[in-house]
Structure formats: C-alpha cells, structure tokens
Amino acid sequence: MHRDLEEILISTPRLNAGIKKLGRRISSDYAGRSVTLVGVLKGCVLFMADLVRHISVETRLDFMMLSSYCGTQSTGVVRTVLDLKENIEGRDVLVVEDIVDSGLTMSYMLRNLKTRRPKSLEICTLLDKPSCRKANVSIKYTGFTIPNKFVVGYGLDYNEIYRNLPYIGVLKKEVIEGTKLCR
C-alpha cells in the first residue's frame, strides 16, 4: 500500500469484478444498439479503459474535460475545458465518470449534453459518494457506493497525483491538510 494512504477501500480484484459486472449489464441493456461512451477526463481514464473491454456491443469513445475542483474543495463552478469531438445527436450516450460526489459536475454535464439531443443519456460511475449530494442526479450504473471519505487511485487524484495506483485508497488525514469533506 502507498505510504500516504490510511487504508485500501477497494482492492484491484474487487475493482476488476465490479467493472466486469458493469460491462455485462451495459452489454445486455444496449444489445443490438451502438453506444457512445463519453468519458469525463481525467479521472475516467483507467476505469473507462477497463470497462470497454467488457462491453460487447458496438462502442464509440469520446471525451470531455470539465474543471470544477481545486484540491479537495469543489468550487461549485463547472466549465468545459475540452469538448466532444463527435456529434451525439440521435445517439445512445453513456457518460463514464470516476465519482459522483456533490453531483454538481454531473448535473452540469447532463444539462449540457441534453441540448445536443442524444437519443438516450445515462450515467455510469465507478464510485458514488451519496452523503454529500447537492444536486439530484439519477445514476443508472454504479460500480461501488462509498462513505464520505476522500479517495484516490485508479484514476482519482489529489492535486493531480495518485491516479496511477491500481486500487482505490483513502488518503491519510495529514496528507489532506485542513480539508472539509462535506461542503
């Protein structure tokens, strides 16, 4: 385990099993259709790369980058840093996110994508932290529901580091100086 971590919350084998299950559900729900996965950079990268390997229907990949976070504090202000390359009008779109916390990022994302008139629009998140929700978002696919702890690894960062850890871990308190978790 990385020395900045207090505990490993979700081990690599548990991640693999959970993601395989999500891939199977998605493949069966979208059977006979084509799905456009919209990954939210950068946190989605490891999750999306593993998830797509378990999706058997025709799949397109696209990405958006939003900015809302500074350290562990959500500013509540979301802006598009990088937009989709493809036109999603009439497509079955599945947003792939690392974690839904306050829900502000996802509610911005849904509002934004809806204006482009996709045929369907759903969310797939690796982690759901429902205890800090501020915006009501309905999530179709959730890998793991977690308690109100600041987690890193498997794509998730703290000030841009720890994304490469192959598991989800909880950062030690002394590493997150003076951070309030519920905002």
Contacts with Mg ion, residue ranges (CB under 5 A): 43, 98
101 counts as catalytic: yes
- Read off the tokens for 176: 């997150």
Q: Indicate which of Mg ion, ligand IMP, none lies near residue 153 (CB less than 5 to 8 Å, by partner kind).
A: none
- Read off the tokens for 162: 């720890």
Q: What is the rounded CA–CA span in Å between residue 143 and residue 109?
A: 19
Q: Which of 12, 27, 59, 74 binds ligand IMP (CB under 6 A)?
A: 74
Q: Which of 22, 36, 88, 105 binds ligand IMP (CB under 6 A)?
A: 105
Q: What is the rounded CA–CA span in Å between residue 127 and residue 151?
A: 10
Q: Indicate which of ligand IMP, Mg ion, none lies near residue 102 (CB less than 5 to 8 Å, by partner kind).
A: ligand IMP
Q: Which of 19, 95, 96, 151 binds ligand IMP (CB under 6 A)?
A: 151
Q: Indicate which of Mg ion, ligand IMP, none lies near residue 179 (CB less than 5 to 8 Å, by partner kind).
A: none
Q: Which of 69, 139, 140, 179 binds ligand IMP (CB under 6 A)?
A: 69
Residue 153 binds ligand IMP, judged by CB under 6 A:
no
CB 152 → ligand IMP: shortest distance, Å?
Answer: 6
Q: Which of 38, 104, 109, 121 binds ligand IMP (CB under 6 A)?
A: 104
Q: Indicate which of ligand IMP, Mg ion, none lies near residue 36 (CB less than 5 to 8 Å, by partner kind).
A: none
**Cα–Cα nearest to 153, from 143, 167, 140, 172:** 167
CB 115 → ligand IMP: shortest distance, Å?
Answer: 19
Give me the residues that bind ligand IMP (CB under 6 A), please. Answer: 43, 68-69, 74, 97-106, 129, 150-152, 156
Active site residue ranges: 101
